[in-house]
C-alpha cells in the first residue's frame, strides 16, 4: 500500500456520461497530480494541485476538470465521455511541488471503460 | 524544451541474460532522476533516485547509474519476475517550481 488511495478501482460507463474519480493523497502530502495512461501508452500528465490551488496543467481536455479540497483530497471530473477516454487514471502525491526524495508516490489507479 | 527519452521501447531477454536500459534527458537544470517499475494495471513503484553524475544505486539485480546526459538501469541475471515496464523521470525546474518529466518507458519481458 503506497498510502495514496484511489476510488473506484474500476468504472464502466456509457458514452456521453460524466464520472468523478477520487484521490486521497499520502498523509502529509500537499501536492496531487493526475495522469492518464491509455493501453500500452506512457503516462500523460493532466493537472497538478498544491494545497488547494491549481499549479500546472498538461494535456487536459476541456471536458475534464479537477479540484483539490481543504482536506487535500482531489477529484477528477470527466464529462461527455468518449470511447477514447477509456484508460487508467493515476493519482500521485508528494510533500512539495515537483516531488521529494522518492519523486511522486502513485496510487493503484482507476480503470475507466467507456462503452 | 525539457525532454526524456527511453530506449529501447521493448526488450526481450532470456532468464540470466544481462542487459541495460537507457534514459537520456535534456533539461535546463537537473534536480534529480528517478527510476520506477510499473506492473500491468498497477501504479508505478519507486526504485531509485540519483542526483549527480557518477552516482550509482543498487537493489537486488538492478543497478542505476547517472551521467550528465543519461542514466542506465543495468539488469544482471534477470528473472521472469523482473518483467515489467521501467519508467525514468527527471526532476527539473520550470516556471519557478519543480516538476517531474516522465519518459515513455521500456517494456521488459524476461522468459525462462
Q: Are A25 and A68 in contact (CB under 8 A)?
A: no
User: Rounded to a whole number, what is the distance in Å from the CA of B87 to chain A's nearest CA?
Assistant: 9
Residue to test with chain A: of B27, B38, B43, B97, most A Cβ within 10 A: B43
Q: Tell me if B42 and A108 make a contact (CB, 8 A cut-off).
A: yes
Contacts of B60 (CB under 8 A, 6+ apart): none
If you measure CA to CA, which chain B residue comes closest to A5? B43
Q: Tell me if A43 and B45 make a contact (CB, 8 A cut-off).
A: no
User: Rounded to a whole number, what is the distance in Å from the CA of B32 to chain A's nearest CA?
Assistant: 9
| Secondary structure element (H or E) that encloses residue A53, with its range | strand A53-57
Q: Are B3 and B101 in contact (CB under 8 A)?
A: yes
Q: Tell me if B105 and A42 make a contact (CB, 8 A cut-off).
A: yes
Query: What is the rounded distance in angstroms from the CA atom of residue B68 to the CA atom of residue A84?
Result: 38
Q: Cell digits for B98?
A: 519543480
Q: What is the pLDDT along chain A (115 residues), one digit of tens a residue?
A: 889 999 999 999 999 999 999 999 999 999 999 999 998 788 999 999 999 999 989 889 999 999 999 999 999 999 999 999 999 999 999 987 777 777 899 999 999 999 9
For A10-32, write each residue's pLDDT tens digit.
Answer: 999 999 999 999 999 999 999 99
Q: Are B30 and B47 in contact (CB under 8 A)?
A: no
What pLDDT does B39 receive? Answer: 95
Q: Tell me if A43 and B43 make a contact (CB, 8 A cut-off).
A: no
| Residue B48: band (very low, low, confident or very high) from pLDDT cuts 50, 70, 90 | very high
Q: Residue A69: phi, psi to the nearest 5?
A: -90, 165
Query: What is the rounded distance in angstroms from the CA atom of residue A100 to the CA atom of residue A111?
Result: 27
Q: Cell digits for A55?
A: 499549479
Q: Tell me if B32 and A99 make a contact (CB, 8 A cut-off).
A: yes
For B98-108, write each residue's pLDDT tens digit.
Answer: 788 899 999 99
Amino acid at each position: 500500500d503506497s498510502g495514496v488511495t484511489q476510488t473506484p478501482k474500476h468504472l464502466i460507463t456509457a458514452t456521453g456520461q460524466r464520472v468523478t474519480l477520487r484521490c486521497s493523497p499520502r498523509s502529509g502530502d500537499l501536492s496531487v497530480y493526475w495522469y492518464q495512461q491509455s493501453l500500452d501508452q506512457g503516462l500523460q500528465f493532466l493537472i497538478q494541485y498544491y494545497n488547494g490551488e491549481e499549479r500546472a496543467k498538461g494535456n487536459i481536455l476541456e471536458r475534464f476538470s479537477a479540484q483539490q479540497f481543504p482536506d487535500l483530497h482531489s477529484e477528477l471530473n470527466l464529462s461527455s465521455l468518449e470511447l477514447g477516454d477509456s484508460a487508467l487514471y493515476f493519482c500521485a502525491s508528494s510533500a512539495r511541488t515537483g516531488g521529494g526524495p522518492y519523486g511522486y508516490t502513485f496510487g493503484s489507479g482507476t480503470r475507466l471503460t467507456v462503452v | 524544451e525539457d525532454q526524456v527519452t527511453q530506449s529501447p521501447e521493448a526488450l526481450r531477454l532470456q532468464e540470466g541474460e544481462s542487459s541495460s536500459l537507457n534514459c537520456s534527458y535534456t533539461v535546463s537544470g537537473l534536480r534529480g532522476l528517478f527510476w520506477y517499475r510499473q506492473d500491468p494495471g498497477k501504479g508505478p513503484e519507486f526504485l531509485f533516485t540519483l542526483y549527480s553524475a557518477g552516482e550509482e544505486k543498487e537493489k537486488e539485480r538492478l543497478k542505476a547509474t547517472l551521467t550528465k546526459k543519461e542514466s542506465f538501469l543495468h539488469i544482471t541475471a534477470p528473472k521472469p519476475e523482473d518483467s515489467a515496464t521501467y519508467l525514468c523521470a527527471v526532476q527539473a525546474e520550470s516556471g519557478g517550481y519543480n516538476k517531474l518529466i516522465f519518459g515513455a518507458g521500456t517494456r521488459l519481458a524476461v522468459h525462462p
